[in-house]
């Protein structure tokens, strides 16, 4: 009768561990990203489209690194700017339609790095303006909730403005 040696058992355990982590984690990553979509991205889209700055600001962590072409904000002043911008839009009866898609997502149990493109349409009675951009977002799971901890966006890549053609490389994200 053949007896397994400790060395053989270690190899079997190692192979099983590698197999399980390589087959299970990608499924978990997809499940986590679906959770992020439901708990953060869908409410973010709704907050923009309903001009709800309180809801939008609530999706950010207490301390956020916000970077735009205008500079770096480590004091969360962007949250007050969100409030003011939405108040102005509401007073001028400007509505917002926000669409976006992901170019890449790297996610584990507590952190996600998400890169994508967005289209924001600003619509009033007289006209419609469309803004295209790219975002790089770092999310962290804090006290059981996904929150934005780093937010960087731009409307240019390598000095070239982002356009409708850039945005239309993929269809926008649809929520179930």
Categorise residue 153: left if φ over 0, alpha if ψ from -120 to 50, beta otherwise: beta
Enter the pTM of the model: 0.83
Q: What DSSP element (H or E) covers 19? A: helix 6-36
**What is the C-alpha to C-alpha distance for residues 121 and 128, in angstroms, rounded to an integer?**
7
Q: Which residues of 95-132 are buried (b: 16+ CB within 10 A; e: fewer)?
A: ebebebbbeebebeeeebebebbbbbeeeeeeeeeeeb
CATH T-level topology, domain 6-167: Nuclear Transport Factor 2; Chain: A, (3.10.450)
Q: Model confidence over 96-111: pLDDT tens digits?
A: 999 999 999 999 999 9
What is the tens place of the pLDDT at every residue in 68-101?
988 999 999 999 999 999 999 999 999 999 999 9
Give the residues across from 105 on adjacent strands.
Answer: 114
Sorted by where each begins, the domain ranges of the chain are: 6-167
């Amino acid at each position: 009768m053949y007896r397994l040696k400790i060395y053989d058992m270690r190899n079997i355990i190692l192979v099983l561990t590698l197999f399980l982590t390589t087959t299970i984690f990608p499924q978990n990553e997809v499940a986590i990203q679906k959770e992020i979509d439901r708990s953060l991205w869908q409410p973010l889209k709704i907050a923009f489209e309903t001009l709800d700055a309180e809801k939008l600001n609530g999706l950010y962590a207490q301390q956020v690194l916000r970077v735009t072409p205008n500079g770096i904000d480590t004091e969360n002043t962007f949250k007050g700017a969100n409030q003011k911008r939405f108040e102005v839009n509401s007073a001028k009866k400007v509505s917002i339609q926000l669409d976006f898609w992901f170019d890449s997502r790297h996610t584990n149990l507590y952190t996600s790095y998400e890169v994508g493109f967005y289209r924001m349409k600003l619509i009033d009675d007289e006209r419609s303006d469309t803004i295209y951009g790219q975002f790089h977002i770092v999310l962290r799971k804090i006290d059981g909730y996904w929150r934005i901890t780093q937010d960087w966006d731009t409307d240019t890549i390598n000095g070239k403005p982002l356009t409708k053609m850039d945005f239309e490389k993929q269809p926008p994200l649809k929520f179930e």
